[in-house]
A and B are shown apart, each in its own frame.
Chain A
Amino acid sequence: MGIIRKGLPGGSFKPLSEQDIEKIHNTVLQVIEEIGFQVNSEDARQYFKQTGASIDEANRIVRLPRKTVMDLISKAPSEFTLYGRDEKNDIHLGGSRVYTGTGGTALYIYNPGSKEKRLASLDDLKKIAKLVGGLDNIHLLLLPTYPSELPVNQIDVNRFYAGLNNTSKHIMGGVYTLEGIENVIKMAEMVAGGKEQLRKRPIISMIACCMSPLKLDEHYADMMIAIAKAGIPLVCPAEPLCGATSPITVAGNVLMQTVDSLMGVLLTQIVNPGTPVIFGSVATSTDLRDLKYLAGSVEMGLTNAGSAQMAQFYKLPFYATGGMTDSKALDSQSGYESAITNMLCALAGSNFIHDSAGLMEFAMTVCLEKYVIDNDILGMVMRAVEGIKVTDETLAFDLIKKVGPAGNFVTSKHTRRHMRSEHYEPTVSDRNLREDWDAEGGQVAWERATILVNQIIESSDYSLPEDTKKTILSQIPGIVV
């Protein structure tokens, strides 16, 4: 009965001042102009050459003048839509509008109701797609797991098919082979109703990563080129880690993230100007005791909030990272780490918070129950983004006058009118009296979530029309049914 909050404007949290943004921006340009970045794809270097960039072929270093950088950024659309198979799931990226989605790509999954993990299979991915299909506060499905039983040449088509056939939300995913990209796009065209229709309403988008610091990997750069040529929306996220692949400072990390993701943005705009590209951050901190990647640090939230401001400055849609935990169990650590990082990203106006649900232990493992719990966290986060609406109606002077001293507001129409929209109603949180909680078995959030997981998966059915499935299965090789 509650309302679904998505696409509401964030931006009330601004860790960077205007002067800070200006200073970071100038340093970004200085890095690209003076230091440059390594481009390991021959094709990509050729594209950069077309802009008149100075290329150091011996070291594969590309340096771009400030003006070129700004010209290319301005070619990228500042707003675009990631379409759902069902249009009610469309996501209008841009400005400071906030949406959420899953993330990956994890290798492991928890056995439901336990702390034991195992390699994730294709079947698990289908289940997650169904589950996300039924969770209102997760707005997009980013394919979160890698089906370990499949050979790499079957990964892309099977992952996207599992997504498209089990939820009507937009499907975003990392890709692994050039052939896979081609077949996934063909498949999506079949679902969308044709080549043109897919370009008009892209129901899929892809991820091709930039490497921190200052490096475009050969394989990923070639994939970026292929995706941009195909006119499919893509994200070029970078993952600088404080003290490991970026300076230790949060500011240095924001800087590194900005430069590194911009490398991808720039390439796509040379390949196909106007390509819908998302500036992406997976920036976080490092455990300097053993150089582990950390998924739940408050600095991750801060960096991503700062990067959201940089994205808004460049007028590029932004893909943030938040909502994960390093914990191995669904305990208070998993709750507070997920909540704090999601909240910081959302309040800063991140357009799409990726990884916002389901991921645990350094993003290595997904947990079905955590999707359900995070759905509640995200519901609360989105309510915070909505903020406080102050009008005569919400202040209710006339009502207060009518109720008067020592009266009550339980029976007023005003209460009924606003109670569902003004207050988020959690699905997992326990708000029972002790005796009712006892009577229901004294369950903790994890146990309550297990029950919900099963209910949601059972009632979730967003499968593709039979004839579409038939066409796909007969024309796209390698799909496992």
Chain B
Amino acid sequence: MSQDILALIKENVVQGRINKEDEGMDEGMEGTPAVMELVQQALTDGIDVQKIINEGLTSGMDIVGQKFEEKEYYIPDMLASAEAVGAAMEMLEPHLASSGVEPKGKILIATVKGDLHDIGKNIVSILLRGAGYLVKDLGNDIDDQTIVDAVKEEQPQFLGLSALLTSTMMHMKDIIKSLNDAGIRDNVKVIVGGAPVSEQFANDIGADGFGADGFQAVSIVQSLGS
């Protein structure tokens, strides 16, 4: 029974179905239980939370990643699956501690001051949630001090900064300097991204990592976190 429901969770992650109204990828799925309903069922059945994560959610995302690599899946497919996993992780969060599951890590993310572009940042958030991270999204047009204060308060393992404009990307440098000044730079890994940002720029301003796209953002977080 537990194998069946885990297999169904995995299948629905691959289909990118959050709840039963979702159509997913294949015909005829609409109306059948999806990731949210199935995870709830698994909790009710007392299935181990770690198992739900590993054998249901993560193994589903692995297949999604593979399909994306093979060009079968498009970004909206990947995002739908990641959203489903993110929603499931939120549902599982209160049960993590009691089940002895170590959370993967907390990520604070924001688009910097003066910059209203948030499509890329939102996609990165969805993908990070889909990879099992707890993501706190501060929004866009966030001033440097608010970001530094949030790092103090939330104590995340990662800070993700986004900018689309060359005129606003310099805030990233200022934020890193402020973190240094506040004596908390070493507590958090700073990852930067956005169209004008490059590996070179990330190095120059003393960031810990750079993601050229959402998928690189996830893998850089994973490699810095391990």
Answer yes or no: A408 CB below 8 A from chain B CBs.
yes
CA A455 to CA B23, docked complex, whole Å: 33
A412: chain B residues at CB < 8 Å are: 76
A1: chain B residues at CB < 8 Å are: 72
Contact between A413 and B119, CB atoms less than 8 A apart: no
Contact between A419 and B23, CB atoms less than 8 A apart: no
Answer yes or no: B11 CB below 8 A from chain A CBs.
no
Residues of B53-99 at the interface with A, using a CB-CB cut-off of 8 Å, are 72, 74-77, 79-80, 83
Count chain A residues whose beta carbon lies closer than 8 angstroms to a beta carbon of B. Answer: 11
Contact between A410 and B116, CB atoms less than 8 A apart: no
Contact between A408 and B122, CB atoms less than 8 A apart: yes
Answer yes or no: B144 CB below 8 A from chain A CBs.
no
Answer yes or no: A389 CB below 8 A from chain B CBs.
no
CA A1 to CA B72, docked complex, whole Å: 7
B16: chain A residues at CB < 8 Å are: 416
Contact between B77 and A410, CB atoms less than 8 A apart: no
Answer yes or no: B126 CB below 8 A from chain A CBs.
yes
Residues of A41-81 at the interface with B, using a CB-CB cut-off of 8 Å, are none
CA A406 to CA B22, docked complex, whole Å: 24
A-B contact number at CB 8 A: 30
B119: chain A residues at CB < 8 Å are: 408, 410
Contact between A415 and B116, CB atoms less than 8 A apart: no
CA A150 to CA B50, docked complex, whole Å: 69
Beta-carbon nearest neighbor of A417 in chain B? B23
Contact between A411 and B23, CB atoms less than 8 A apart: no
CA A1 to CA B75, docked complex, whole Å: 15
A416: chain B residues at CB < 8 Å are: 16, 23, 25, 76-77, 80
Contact between A410 and B123, CB atoms less than 8 A apart: yes
CA A410 to CA B122, docked complex, whole Å: 10
B83: chain A residues at CB < 8 Å are: 411
Beta-carbon nearest neighbor of A414 in chain B? B76
Point out residues on A near B: beta carbons under 8 Å.
Answer: 1, 406, 408, 410-413, 415-417, 419
Supply 28 A–B pairs (Cβ within 8 Å), ascending by A: A1-B72, A406-B116, A408-B119, A408-B122, A410-B75, A410-B76, A410-B119, A410-B123, A411-B76, A411-B79, A411-B80, A411-B83, A411-B122, A411-B123, A411-B126, A412-B76, A413-B22, A413-B23, A413-B80, A415-B76, A416-B16, A416-B23, A416-B25, A416-B76, A416-B77, A417-B23, A419-B74, A419-B76
Q: Can you list the 9 inter-chain pairs with the closest CB atoms, starting with the nearest?
A: A408-B119, A415-B76, A416-B76, A411-B79, A410-B76, A416-B80, A419-B74, A1-B72, A410-B75
